[in-house]
Amino acid sequence: MLEYLCISYYSKCTFQRFILKNILLRCNISIWDNEDNDIPHDILLEMSKEKHGLLCSAFCKIDKNVLEVAGKQLRVVSTISVGLDHIDVNECKKRDIKVGFVPSIGTSATAELGVGLLLATSRSIVEGTKVAKGGSWGTWKPMRLCGPSLEGSTVGFFGLGRIGLAMLQRLKPFGVKYFKYNTPNKKTKQFETEHGVSCATFNDLLATSDFLISCSSLTSTTKNKFNKEAFDMMKATSIYINISRGGVVQQDDLYQALVEGKIRAAGLDVTTPEPLPINHPLLQLSNCVITPHLGTCAEETITAMSELAARNLLAGLENTPMPSQYKI
């Protein structure tokens, strides 16, 4: 009988129902069924012993130690996420372990969250809600809680993959004047013309963007890309949004930039670490809106991601083609 471990707080939602329907009769299942806490690493190691498959979320680190403890019979690691920085994919390759992921399902939901975060930050929606609830509404003051409009603005994208492009399309009706992007590989002229976007150097992106959105993956070249030097080059009126990975930002430098007025505001759906400690300085700032990694948190999206992750797992266990396998 095949053995696999489900390490995910999604285990009580549609994913679990799918598993029980499709896998239960063929596999023995071990589940970390605590929705309030991530699995401690020592328990993860213990539960991973002699497993044929592992299923995880982006908040569970599948490192070399976990793979070693699981044993030589481990066939597949399936994650309910787009990013793979929590999995040692190189070690999986050495051990001929298949890796499944869910690369495109969360695109729309994450783009929607990005637009919402941008609007919440620029138009002081969170701070305005506090004013309304806190009893300090008072007399109307024309410039109180005012923020910049998207109309006539320049929006820059650091990284322009599926999510960035989806967000760009959603921002067009707001009357944005210029869209710019910076990626390791320049897009074709046809692509730029079709989508109304122009390539910029990183320094130009910093200097000219009224709204700068991070949509890049976390790599050795993007880690801490947004640091003191970068924030010093941005407009004092600019707003920085991060919906990619917390590691692309040097958070201490971001804090100083916000406090010193080097930039106007920031909106973050990703941080380092996650969750961010409640006493973290960024959480104390009125010009920084932080959400708890809500990018893919649309009901339809989570359901679809969970089912695809389950199908990837089952295919890997049965040595059949995976619906969505990461090519290591």
- Summarised one tens digit per residue, pLDDT across range 189-233 is 999 999 999 999 999 999 999 999 999 988 999 999 999 999 999
How far, in Å, CA of 123 to CA of 291, rounded? 16
Looking at mean pLDDT, say which of 14-18, 24-28, 137-141, 248-252 comes out highest: 248-252
- Summarised one tens digit per residue, pLDDT across range 304-316 is 888 898 889 989 9
What's the pLDDT band for 29 if we cut at 50, 70, 90?
confident
Q: Kindly name the residue from 41, 52, 86, 293 that is annotated as catalytic.
A: 293
Which one is predicted more confidently, 292 or 6? 292
How far, in Å, CA of 149 to CA of 127, rounded? 17
138 φ/ψ sector (left φ>0, alpha ψ -120 to 50, else beta)? left
**CATH architecture observed for domain 107-290:** 3-Layer(aba) Sandwich (3.40)
Q: What is the dihedral of CA 162, 113, 124, 229, to 10 degrees?
A: -40
Residue partners of 16: CB distance under 8 A and separation at least 6 = 6, 10, 31
Of 93, 80, 19, nearest in space to 327 by CA: 93
* Contact assessment for residue 50 and residue 71, using Cβ atoms and an 8 Å cutoff: yes
Is 293 tagged catalytic?
Answer: yes
pLDDT exceeds cutoff 60 at 83:
yes
What's the pLDDT band for 11 if we cut at 50, 70, 90?
very low
> What is the chain's mean pLDDT, rounded?
90
Query: DSSP letters along 83-120, please?
Result: --TTB-HHHHHHTT-EEE---STTHHHHHHHHHHHHHH
How confident is the model at residue 307, as a pLDDT?
A: 85
- Summarised one tens digit per residue, pLDDT across range 113-147 is 999 999 999 999 999 999 999 999 988 888 889 99
CATH number of 2-105+299-318: 3.40.50.720
Domain with CATH 3.40.50.720 in the chain: 2-105+299-318, 107-290
pTM of the predicted protein model: 0.86
Q: What percentage of the chain carries pLDDT values higher than 70?
A: 91
Angle at the Cα of 84 from the Cα atoms of 118 and 246, rounded to 5 degrees: 35
Which residues, listed in sequence order, are joined to residue 266 by a DSSP beta bridge?
A: 240, 288
